[in-house]
A and B are shown apart, each in its own frame.
Chain A
Amino acid sequence: MPELTPLREPFDGFDDDLAFERVSDRTATISVPAPGLPEDEASRRLVVYLGLFDRLTEALVDAAPEEDEAAARLAEVLRHVQAADGPLRFALHEERDATDRRELMTRMRGKEIALTRDWMIPKLHEEIQRYVARVAALREAVADARERDAP
């Protein structure tokens, strides 16, 4: 894998932001004009991110002394983003998959717990009471029979 070189303004330190496993989960909201933006939240976020990177890349190109240098800087940032994107997508998929599996397992265990706690345990208590009464009645009957059999 080719080595990535440090990025310049306005992308300096961008690698820390791309490090999805340790970047801060703090979020901030920005108020934007609604007309012309998609209805759903994720698509709206994409459009705002498109605007955000349009602004940043414009600043990067403006800061470059000539066109070749601008192209080289853009290509370098692109390499950094691409290098982080594959592992990010894989991790996101794994995370969602693991969360789905855990939630499914928790729901299934919840049903088992409810069955045990709300049905099986009360039923066992109730049956034990009936068994205790039956044992007492049978012992009495056996004792009577023994008395009858006694010489």
Chain B
Amino acid sequence: MKWGERDERVQVELLEVDLERAARAGPLDSWALGNELARRGRLVAAGGRPEELDAVGPAAGLGVAELRRLLIWTAALSSVHRFAYVTTRGTAARAAEAERRAYEEKLSLDRDRLPDLKEQARDLRAEIRRLEVELRRRGGDPERVGGAIDWDRTLAVDDYEPPRYESNEDRRARAVDFFRRIG
């Protein structure tokens, strides 16, 4: 690099424990360590992946240079995976929390809000039909009464039965009762 010229730099994120270990291996400041790791990394990468990397079983019969190259690649690839795993632990926990919230919201709608409305609509629809039959029986014409319903455009809830949600207590009581009967 010529005097006054600044090289372009990038930030690379690693696990702190790994970077600390690299720093402990020799007296270099952060700037020099960055230069050193990039220089060494480029050289190793240029040599390509060792064939032994894909072999199954212990690396027997290798000399120091081959063993070292194999270890460098194995540890580096594993560290990239470890970084991915460790830094996504939070993502997985957040996804689980979002799923739990969505489940509870859906359950709350299905258990606390929909059943009342559907039962109310079901009972009113039955009452409308009963009154229409009675009116016809008395010689009246429901079609001439205001507010006629276009049934095809409504939510068909005539056979609706609210779902039964069992509590843990209910399940326990049922299990106790079962064992009492057979026991």
Chain A residues near B (Cβ < 8 Å)? 10, 14, 16-18, 20, 23-37, 41-42, 44-59, 61, 67, 70-71, 74-75, 77-79, 81-82, 84-85, 88-89, 91-92, 95-96, 98-99, 102-103, 105-106, 109-110, 112-113, 116-117, 120-121, 123-125, 127-128, 130-135, 137-139, 141-142, 144-146, 148-149
Contact = CB atoms under 8 A, between A and B. Distances in A.
* A contact patch SS: helix
A138 B22 contact: no
Contacts of A141: 131, 135, 140, 142, 145
Interface string B87-114: 1111110011011001101100110011
Contacts of B17: 16-17, 23-24, 26
Nearest to B9: A31
Interface in B1-30: 7-22, 24-26, 30
Contacts of B109: 113, 116-117, 121
A142 B140 contact: yes
Contact of A53 (B43, B72, B91): B72
B82 A18 contact: yes
A146 to B, nearest CB: 7
Given A124-B118, A135-B128, A77 B30 contact: no
B42 A109 contact: no
A25 B87 contact: yes
Contacts of B37: 30, 32, 48, 51-52, 55
Contacts of B44: 47, 50-51, 54
Contacts, number: 325
B63 interface: yes
B45 interface: yes
Contacts of A85: 74, 77-78, 81
Interface string B122-151: 001101100110110011101001111100
A129 B91 CA distance: 45
B117 A125 contact: yes
Contact of A24 (B16, B22, B43, B125): B16
Contacts of B99: 102-103, 105-106, 109
A88 B40 contact: no
Nearest to B78: A85
Residue of B45, B72, B83, B124 with most chain A CB atoms under a 10 A cut-off? B72
Given A31-B30, A56-B21, A56-B25, A49 B80 contact: yes
26 contacts: A20-B82, A20-B86, A25-B15, A30-B19, A30-B33, A32-B37, A33-B34, A35-B8, A44-B12, A49-B18, A50-B41, A50-B73, A53-B72, A75-B67, A85-B77, A98-B92, A99-B91, A99-B95, A106-B95, A109-B103, A116-B110, A121-B113, A121-B117, A130-B147, A131-B124, A134-B145
